[in-house]
Structure 1
Amino acid sequence: MPRQVALLLFVVSFLHCEGAAVKDELPAADNERPIVGILSQEQSLYLHSKYPEENYTSYIAASYVKHVEAAGARVVPILIGKQREYYRELMKKLNGVLFPGGATYFNQSNGYADAGQHIYEIAIEMNLAGEYFPIFGTCLGFELLIILASGQREPENRVRCYSYTNLPLDFTSDFRSSKMFSGTTKDIIDILSSENVTVNAHQFCIVDQNLEAFNLTDDWRVTSYSDDKHGVQFIASIEHRRFPFYGVQFHPEKISYEWKLSKQYPHSLNAIKSNRHFMDFFVNECRRSLHTFGNVEEENRYAIYNYEAKFTGVLGSQHHDIYFFEPRGIPKDQNSISNINKR
């Protein structure tokens, strides 16, 4: 466990026991111009093969961008492989961060997991200082949140879990007292709990034993479960008890914005409106943050609008369109592409 992570977790644990830091009363959702950062991730071998000359460093699936924008926020891409100060300075201007799903590994240096660790630790510092800063993790992003909360990388605090289907949610008995679902209308809850409208696409998951093994149950509350193809009951939604950190194992963004036929994503009206709840909720949490850029010109320099999404669905990608970042050109050592993880 890195020394700084251990120290931070000790401070968080101490303040939790002493009842200090984050106030019980939530700040009002007064920010009508929220800006959400979305963390990019390493280029995959498959995507590299489609754009070999560009040799992009990282990417973000456009479905996440559209999902955030549909909830009334703008997006700033957060690049991987940067120094801690890059993330700190950017987070002072953002109102929240989304950890997207994907297929990268957590043990790659200067990648998605390292950037996520910087963001997670800085967000804790900000919330302890009285600044409201939310994080939302989807699928891989949710797993990363729990692994970071566990305070170590190896062995990773998650289990093998195979689910590539659409499932309902099995809500916990007290889910209505959670922040994520306290204000959710009955019709949305009924759809989520009785229809196969949550898209699952993962081979790892978090189970109760992962929380118990690292004493996380005091800090994290489970609000729903689902079952994988072998009957493993995995945590489908979760939230931190003190900080505005949230996670779902499924993919709400795919319902409206991903169209690969072989994936058989549900696109019914019920599926669309029930899955909209999650990003609408998160962006409303981001409205409680009053961080701002210095001016409109600075906002524009960082915005996702500076990049053009590429139509990758026609190339066979699971993502309909993708934003790519920081092209490196053809590597001098062609063998270096073997280090790029497979999708």
Structure 2
Amino acid sequence: MKTSVCASALLCVILVQCVATGGTRISGIELPHRRHGNPQEVPSQNRPLIGILSQPGDGMGYSLTSTGGLEKPVPPGYSTSYIAASYVKFVEMGGARAVPLIWNEPEETLRKKFSAINGILFPGGGTSLKDSPFFRVADKLFNWAIEANDRGDHFPIYGVCLGFELLSVIVSKNHDILEPFHAENNPGPLLFVGDSAKHEGMFKWIPLNIIDELYEQKLTMQNHKWGLSPEKWISTPELNDFFQILTVTPDLNEKLYVSTVEAREYPILGVQWHPEKNAFEWGIDNIPHSADAIRITQSVANFLIAEARKSTHTPSSFKEEQDFLIYNHAPVYTGKEGKGTFDQAYVFN
């Protein structure tokens, strides 16, 4: 990958974003400081729980994750959903435990779980992001988090790939905002929008020598058909006012898409790439598994859970905590003989 191909386009992104924000960066929320911060700033929620939203499909034979996703509707009465096990392992890697937020369970149950968990992960996949019962549940969870943060109740949200796209649709209030890209099964670089982006939020937690490698080496797994160009993002006030772009990435046709964003005033982050796959998915040959690639997974997991430790949510009892945990369900080897998109998945009926 010759990064010079994208240099002029990247410069345009930097300049346009500066103009769009009045020439100054809105400082946004205080995020954890790993390289230059004070360890005493990190709160001590020692039993963090992360809610992971399930999505329609079974992760294997009938999977909405392998068919283009955005156009395929959920069949009437279809009630099966899944969570890829790599996301469970990912939050455990950072020192938390996972709570499944089963998208079609009663709202009362989701409310109880929301009060017990310390953050939400919107995972990757291929489920439709058109207006649907699934989308409305995700939108509801997002707004609960916004309301909590507005009350001073710190509550992070993290979106990966489809989760990144989900955040984009929710914030823009536009179900047709996504654009097609050729970025399937394609590890790629992260091109930082300004040198300061290397020292923002999540990236503070990645060692500097690896930060430098992200520009030249393909250490982040990209696996999506849809996304947003920086031009589209910046020209959409709802997105540009809410989020700041930290990185962009070229697809296989050298077309740039937004690949990392952070909210300006909320603990909400989105990545179009897959930090969890480096360590926990083995079914695709192109996934980076080098030592540096694994350090990226570990660093991002550490950041996510550091944010969750700032949340004061807690289960109402030890029994409720046990009842909510993902450990009440057994993972299925969905990747055996190449049948599924993921190595393992938790399936809920």
Structure 1 pair 207–104 and aligned structure 2 pair: CA distance change class (3 A): same
Q: Which residue of 2 aligns with 1:13?
A: none
Structure 1 residue 104: deviation in Å?
0.9
Give, in whole Å, the separation in 2 of the partners of 1:25 and 1:73: 18
Identical residues among aligned pairs (%): 34
Question: CA separation in 1, counterparts of 2:260 and 2:150?
Answer: 24
Tell me the residue number matched to 2:182: 162
Residue 162 of structure 1 aligns to which amino acid in structure 2?
Answer: H
Worse-matched range after superposition: 234-243 or 55-64? 55-64
Task: Find the aligned partners of 2:266 and 2:96 in 1 and give their Cα distance.
Answer: 21
Deviates more, 1:227-236 or 1:33-42: 227-236
CA deviations on 1:58-105 (whole Å, 9 max, x unpaired) are 000101100111110000000112454443332111100000000111
The aligned residue for residue 36 of structure 2 is none
Structure 2 letter corresponding to 1:30 = S
Are residues 34 and 105 of structure 1, via their aligned partners in 2, closer, same or farther at CA, if it must alter by over 3 Å?
A: same
In structure 1, what is the Cα distance between the partners aligned to 2:30 and 2:274?
30
Give the counterpart letter for 1:259 in structure 2: W
Q: Give the aligned CA root-mean-square deviation in angstroms.
A: 2.1
CA–CA separation in structure 2 for the residues paired with 1:295 and 1:313: 36
Would the alpha carbon gap of residues 24 and 308 (structure 1) be closer, same or farther in structure 2, given more than 3 Å must change? closer
Secondary structure of the structure 1 residue equivalent to 2:258:
strand
Per the TM alignment, residue 177 of structure 1 is displaced from its structure 2 partner at its CA by 4.8
Aligned match of 1:335? none
1:48 touches 1:56 (CA, 8 Å); kept in 2?
no
The answer on whether the counterparts of 1:99 and 1:135 sit within 8 Å (CA) in structure 2 is yes
Matches within 5 A, 1:213-252: 213-215=235-237, 216-252=239-275
> Is residue 98 of structure 1 aligned with residue 121 of structure 2?
yes
State whether residues 335 and 342 of structure 2, in contact with CA within 8 Å, keep that contact through their aligned partners in structure 1: yes
Cα contact 2:60–2:341 (8 A) shared by 1: no
Distance in structure 1 (CA, Å) of the matches to 2:159 and 2:187: 19
Within 5 Å, give how 1:127-166 maps onto structure 2: 127-153=149-175, 156-164=176-184, 165-166=186-187
**Number of matched pairs:** 296
- Counterpart of 1:314 in structure 2 is 336
Gaps of 5+ in 1: 1-21, 50-54, 327-343
Q: What one-letter code is carried by the residue in structure 2 that aligns with 1:158? A: L
- After TM superposition, the score normalised by the length of structure 1 is 0.81
- What amino acid sits opposite 2:46 in the alignment? E
- TM-score relative to the length of structure 2: 0.79
The residue correspondences of 1:1-343 to structure 2 (distance < 5 A) are 28-43=42-57, 47-48=61-62, 57-82=80-105, 84-107=107-130, 109-111=132-134, 113-153=135-175, 156-164=176-184, 165-173=186-194, 174-215=196-237, 216-260=239-283, 262-316=284-338, 317-326=340-349
State how far apart, in whole Å, the 2-side matches of 1:234 and 1:23 are. 24
Unaligned runs of 5+ in 2: 1-27, 33-40, 64-77
